[in-house]
Amino acid sequence: MASSAFDDALGALLSSGDDHRRAGDLDRALEAYTKAADLTEVPTGAVCVRLARVSADAGRVDEARDWALRTVDAGDDFASWDAAARAFAPIGLAAGATKRTVRVAILGSYTTTYVTRLLQLVAARRGVRVECYESAYDQFRQEMLDPSSGLHAFAPQLIVFAVDARAVVLPEWSDQPEADIEAEVAGWRNLWARADDLGASVIQHNFVVAPEAALAHLDAQLAGSRYHMLTQLNARIAAELPANSHVVDCERLASTFGKNRWLDPLWWDRAKLAVSLPATPVLVRHTAAVIAGQLGLARKCLVIDLDNTLWGGVIGEDGVDGLKLGGDASGDAFLVFQDHLLALKRRGVILAACSKNDDHVAREPFERHPEMRVRLSDFAAFVANWRSKVDNIVEIATDLSIGLDALAYVDDNPVERQEVRRFLPDVDVIPLPAQPSSYTRALADYAWFETGTVTAEDAQRTAHYQARAEVNRLERSAASIDDFYRELQMAGSLRPFDDTDLARIAQLVGKTNQFNLTARRHDLRALQAMITDDRYVHVSLRLRDRYADHGLVGVVIAKQDGEVLDIDTWLMSCRVIGRTAEQAMLGALARAGTERGCTTLRGTYVPTGKNALVKDLYPTLGFTLEAANDAGNGATTTWRRAIDDDARAGSPYIDLEVGAGRGAA
Amino acid sequence: MALHERLQDVFRDVFNNPGLVVDGTTTSADIPEWDSLQHVTLLFRIEDEFGVEFLGDEAASLGNVGELESLLTQKGCG
């Protein structure tokens, strides 16, 4: 459809919807807007906002919320985001869709009202409920330092320093630039230390260097120029920010966006807005991405289509020699794209291939094309067949044992993209433009791979996930479940807690959601106390198999109560669920109980909304129901089981070395 | 579309009120949601819709919708 005819069609549907809404005919308004939404691959912001509003009018809260949040996907249009944020605010995130709640203080050197409001919207789109505190205009230093300030009462978990270069004390010209920069850095270090006192991590916006310089070129070389000093200051801030705090690189965002549009002096004069309204969605999207990364909600895996995405052409028709890949203008773009994928992999993003092809045909370019940069070994999963992309993406997630909400998907084909959006709404779909030269930029603009740290382990992550995928494939191919367990060749150890393991144990106790019977979040100090208390039995499980060493993956804590051993905490990492490790842990508990003269095990299941996986664990292990007590979130149940040979036997499939010690037997 | 209708559509969209009717005498006192922040949004949307930029004191001194319309007319809109 030609662009003007398309604009006309869209405009006509929107005005028709507007007329119906004005006349109170909400059903027909909804119908017209829905048609408008179907005109484009991703509904425009204006359409999403209208659907959110008319849904709210009609009392359809879930649809209103959904459309308000989808506005964010339509692009960085300020007017739409602002309207969507207003529609969303009175509704809020559904309890079931809330992955995290985080208390964020926005400390600004300018009017941050828009930043705050839009941040709540875009964070909600990622499942994060942001409770916000905003400092009074340009009062961030005072509020940080004053223990009686509203900021201190709010007790933030995260502090966003939403600051602009006006907050920097550096002069226009300095005769002692190094000392001046040092003094400025010291001021920020002091604020970060106060944030640490408050128990908050810092998200630091760095400084956008204004385009206005006395001498635009020489200033870049003169150490005393403010331009030069601000550039140095940004580098110092990046280097000296404390652990678990992160920079939002506003200087780079503004350069990409266009500084003349990012910094609009008119809006500073009018409303003390240091970031122009059209630029605010970009700033907020990236701030939210850094927050999500810090919360561990980054997308972990990128699923990549092959034909016309990883290389130019269709391998099944063009053959290896006919592919566009390096060599000329139309092939070079794909090499740049492949290099970018490898750069992501180096930072811990797992790559997976997903293609509609015969498997051996899809592998040919990797085996034979001399220009290929990405190798088969770079993929944690490689799926090529003629089933739908939706089925294959689900299989990839299953093989890698990660949620669909950890996946992003990139494909040149709008039909495939639509199918994935429709049937797998948890997967982020990254659209590619028609022009392959623009692929890399489109992927780089996707912000949600942003993660808190890059460690040596991240670069090795692919190998770890390849092992996981092998295990899951073995499960599907094994003749019986017994064969599967045996072929895994599992071995491990059951040992009482010791000091070296305690940090890892505390981490598991703090974050394990699915296989966690009671979700009691004992901290390091509480765990240390249990180790020295004779009443407690505590066992950690380490497990390895033919594919990987999983490390410490299971924790159980029980307290002796006369002849009863009462299970306080029992959890396992999702990596090793479904492998009889729970029987092995039951065995350790039962043997420890026998040693202490206990005759009975008692277990409790506390439903949390995330641990339905283990609802039936106790009956499966031969426990019988003792009591049920419904406290709103579903029934908390308690269970009993006699300690007998059967319980003490453990798992026949896991070759165990059993550690000596007071806790475990 | 005439200037008045275009302007009214901006008001309706900004204040999410499809039935909103503004005339020359409408001021911020007549629209409860028209606070200082929404004033900023409104200004931004009007400039965007009409492709104009108000000078410093023009934006500050706008008393009612009638003055806004005559200012837009002066700037060659509608």
Residue A238 sits in a domain whose CATH number is 3.40.50.1110
**Chain B contacts of A53, Cβ < 8 Å?**
16
CATH number, domain with residue A22: 1.25.40.10
Please say if the pLDDT value at position A510 is more than 90: no
| Better-predicted residue by pLDDT, A566 or A296 | A566
**Chain A contacts of B35, Cβ < 8 Å?**
none
In our burial notation (b when 16+ CB lie closer than 10 A, e otherwise), range A395-432 reads bbbbbbbbebbbbbbbbbeeebbebbbeebeebbbbeb
User: What pLDDT score was predicted for residue A665?
Assistant: 39
Nearest to A311 by CA among A240, A242, A364: A364
State the Cα–Cα distance between residues A199 and A506, nearest whole angstrom: 18
**Chain B contacts of A22, Cβ < 8 Å?**
18-19
Q: In A265-376, where does DSSP find H-type helix?
A: 265-271, 280-294, 315-322, 329-346, 359-368
Interchain proximity A82–B41, CB inside 8 Å: yes
Interchain proximity A270–B43, CB inside 8 Å: yes
What residues of A are in the B interface, CB distance below 8 Å?
18, 21-22, 53, 78-79, 82-83, 86-87, 113, 266, 269-271, 273, 277
The domain boundary, picked from A274, A297, A320, lies at A297
Please say if the pLDDT value at position A1 is more than 50: no
Residue A379 is given by DSSP the state: E
- The alpha carbon torsion through A57, A58, A61, A67 (nearest 10 deg) reads -70
Interchain proximity B13–A83, CB inside 8 Å: yes
User: In this structure, are A118 and A227 located in the same domain?
Assistant: yes
Please say if the pLDDT value at position A661 is more than 70: no
Q: What is the mean pLDDT of residues A542-550?
A: 84
Helix (H, G, I), strand (E, B) or coil at A33: helix
Residue in A closest to B44 by C-alpha:
A277
Q: A603 exposed, middle or buried (CB, 10 Å; 0-12, 13-18, 19+)?
A: buried
Residue A430 is given by DSSP the state: E
Of A68-77, A115-124, A547-556, A627-636, where does mean pLDDT reach its minimum? A627-636
State the Cα–Cα distance between residues A350 and A345, nearest whole angstrom: 6
**Chain A contacts of B53, Cβ < 8 Å?**
266
Helix (H) or strand (E) holding B73: helix B65-74
- Interface predicted TM-score (ipTM) of this complex, two decimals: 0.94
Q: What is the mean pLDDT of residues A362-378?
A: 95
Interchain proximity B48–A79, CB inside 8 Å: yes
State the Cα–Cα distance between residues A269 and A253, nearest whole angstrom: 22
Interchain proximity B19–A22, CB inside 8 Å: yes
Interchain proximity A83–B16, CB inside 8 Å: yes
| Better-predicted residue by pLDDT, A120 or A138 | A120
Q: What is the mean pLDDT of residues A374-382?
A: 96
Pairing state between β A536-544 and A549-561? antiparallel
From A53, A78, A113, residue closest to B37, measured CB to CB: A113
Q: How confident is the model at residue A585 (pLDDT cuts 50, 70, 90)?
A: very high
State the Cα–Cα distance between residues A186 and A218, nearest whole angstrom: 28
Mean pLDDT of chain A: 92
User: In this structure, are A571 and A543 located in the same domain?
Assistant: yes
Please say if the pLDDT value at position B54 is more than 70: yes
State the Cα–Cα distance between residues A446 and A347, nearest whole angstrom: 15
Q: How far away is chain A from the Cα of B25, in angstroms, using its nearest Cα? A: 23
**Chain A contacts of B43, Cβ < 8 Å?**
270
User: What pLDDT score was predicted for residue A663?
Assistant: 41
Q: What is the mean pLDDT of residues A400-418?
A: 94
A453 CB contacts (<8 Å, ≥6 apart)?
none
The answer to whether A316 touches A361, Cβ cutoff 8 Å, is yes
Residue A101 is given by DSSP the state: E
Interchain proximity A86–B16, CB inside 8 Å: yes
From B40, B45, B59, residue closest to A79, measured CB to CB: B45
From A87, A269, A271, residue closest to B40, measured CB to CB: A271
Helix (H, G, I), strand (E, B) or coil at A473: helix
User: What pLDDT score was predicted for residue A662?
Assistant: 42
Return the residue in A50, A137, A277 with the most chain B beta carbons within 10 A, the one to mutate for interface testing: A277
pLDDT of A386-404, one tens digit each?
A: 999 999 999 999 999 899 9
Written in H, E and C, the secondary structure of A203-236 is EEECCCCCCCCCCCCHHHCCCCEHHHHHHHHHHH
Interchain proximity A277–B44, CB inside 8 Å: yes
Instruction: Domain of residue A404: give its range.
Output: 301-468
Residue A173 is given by DSSP the state: B
Nearest to A272 by CA among A118, A162, A420, A190: A162
In a domain, A349, yes or no: yes
Please say if the pLDDT value at position A660 is more than 60: no
In a domain, A263, yes or no: yes
- Cα separations in angstroms, A602 against A309, A380, A613, A646, B37: 56, 41, 19, 16, 59
**Chain A contacts of B59, Cβ < 8 Å?**
270
B17, two tokens: 């009120």
CA torsion sign, A427 to A428 to A434 to A437? negative
User: What pLDDT score was predicted for residue A138?
Assistant: 84
The answer to whether A573 touches A554, Cβ cutoff 8 Å, is yes
Q: What is the mean pLDDT of residues A607-612?
A: 85
CA angle A420, A421, A423 (to 5 degrees): 65
User: In this structure, are A192 and A210 located in the same domain?
Assistant: yes
The residues with which A543 forms a beta bridge, in sequence order, are: A492, A551
User: In this structure, are A329 and A290 located in the same domain?
Assistant: no
Q: What is the mean pLDDT of residues A184-195?
A: 95
Return the residue in B37, B47, B52 with the most chain A beta carbons within 10 A, the one to mutate for interface testing: B37
In a domain, A478, yes or no: no
How far separated are the first and last CA of chain A, in Å rounded?
73
From A86, A269, A271, residue closest to B56, measured CB to CB: A269
User: What pLDDT score was predicted for residue A425?
Assistant: 94
Residue in A closest to B56 by C-alpha:
A270
Residue in B closest to A20 by C-alpha:
B18
In a domain, A176, yes or no: yes
How far separated are the first and last CA of chain B, in Å rounded?
8
The domain boundary, picked from A429, A444, A468, lies at A468
Q: Count the neighbouring beta carbons within 10 Å of the beta carbon of residue A186.
A: 10
Of A405-414, A569-578, A591-600, B31-40, where does mean pLDDT reach its minimum? A569-578
**Chain A contacts of B19, Cβ < 8 Å?**
22
Domain ranges of chain B: 1-24+49-55
Please say if the pLDDT value at position A456 is more than 70: no
Q: How far, in whole angstroms, is CA B29 from its chain's centroid?
A: 14
| Better-predicted residue by pLDDT, A215 or A510 | A215
The answer to whether A195 touches A202, Cβ cutoff 8 Å, is yes
Q: How confident is the model at residue A439 (pLDDT cuts 50, 70, 90)?
A: very high
Q: What is the mean pLDDT of residues B52-56?
A: 87
Q: How confident is the model at residue A405 (pLDDT cuts 50, 70, 90)?
A: very high
**Chain B contacts of A81, Cβ < 8 Å?**
none
Q: How confident is the model at residue A217 (pLDDT cuts 50, 70, 90)?
A: very high
State the Cα–Cα distance between residues A234 and A251, nearest whole angstrom: 9
What residues of B are in the A interface, CB distance below 8 Å?
13-14, 16, 18-19, 37, 40-41, 43-45, 48, 53, 56, 59
User: What pLDDT score was predicted for residue A44?
Assistant: 96
State the Cα–Cα distance between residues A162 and A105, nearest whole angstrom: 10
A174, two tokens: 């300095």
The domain boundary, picked from A266, A297, A328, lies at A297
Nearest to A47 by CA among A76, A82, A17: A17
Of A259-263, A289-293, A549-553, B70-74, where does mean pLDDT reach its minimum? A549-553
What percent of chain A is modeled with pLDDT above 90?
76
User: In this structure, are A496 and A419 located in the same domain?
Assistant: no
A281, two tokens: 């969605």
Residue in A closest to B57 by C-alpha:
A270
Place of tokens 């842990």: A585
Residue A516 is given by DSSP the state: E
- What is the total count of domains within chain A? 4
Place of tokens 């549907």: A13
Most confident of A283-297, A493-507, A575-589: A283-297
String of DSSP letters for A534-586: TTEEEEEEEEE-SS-EEEEEEEEEEEEETTEEEEEEEEE-GGGTTSSHHHHHH
Q: What is the mean pLDDT of residues A559-569?
A: 96
**Chain B contacts of A261, Cβ < 8 Å?**
none
State the Cα–Cα distance between residues A649 and A655, nearest whole angstrom: 12
| Better-predicted residue by pLDDT, B55 or A202 | A202
Nearest to A171 by CA among A159, A180, A182, A183: A180
**Chain A contacts of B41, Cβ < 8 Å?**
79, 82, 277
CATH number, domain with residue A306: 3.40.50.1000
CATH number, domain with residue A639: 3.40.630.30
User: What pLDDT score was predicted for residue A634?
Assistant: 77
User: In this structure, are A99 and A88 located in the same domain?
Assistant: no
User: What pLDDT score was predicted for residue A633?
Assistant: 61
**Chain B contacts of A80, Cβ < 8 Å?**
none
In our burial notation (b when 16+ CB lie closer than 10 A, e otherwise), range A165-176 reads bebbebeeebee
Q: How confident is the model at residue B59 (pLDDT cuts 50, 70, 90)?
A: confident
A233 CB contacts (<8 Å, ≥6 apart)?
A168, A170, A181, A184, A185, A207
Q: How far away is chain B from the Cα of A262, in angstroms, using its nearest Cα? A: 15
Please say if the pLDDT value at position A461 is more than 80: no
Interchain proximity A83–B56, CB inside 8 Å: no
| Better-predicted residue by pLDDT, A549 or A458 | A549
**Chain A contacts of B14, Cβ < 8 Å?**
83
**Chain A contacts of B13, Cβ < 8 Å?**
83
Q: How far away is chain A from the Cα of B68, in angstroms, using its nearest Cα? A: 17
The answer to whether A536 touches A569, Cβ cutoff 8 Å, is no
User: In this structure, are A143 and A153 located in the same domain?
Assistant: yes
CA angle A364, A365, A366 (to 5 degrees): 90
State the Cα–Cα distance between residues A283 and A262, nearest whole angstrom: 10
Return the residue in A15, A16, A22 with the most chain B beta carbons within 10 A, the one to mutate for interface testing: A22
Nearest to B62 by CA among B10, B33, B26: B26
Of A1-5, A380-384, A521-525, B18-22, where does mean pLDDT reach its minimum? A1-5
Give the relative orientation of helices A461-477 and A389-400 as an angle to the nearest 10 degrees.
Answer: 110
What percent of chain A is modeled with pLDDT above 70?
97
A132, two tokens: 């916000």
In a domain, A665, yes or no: no
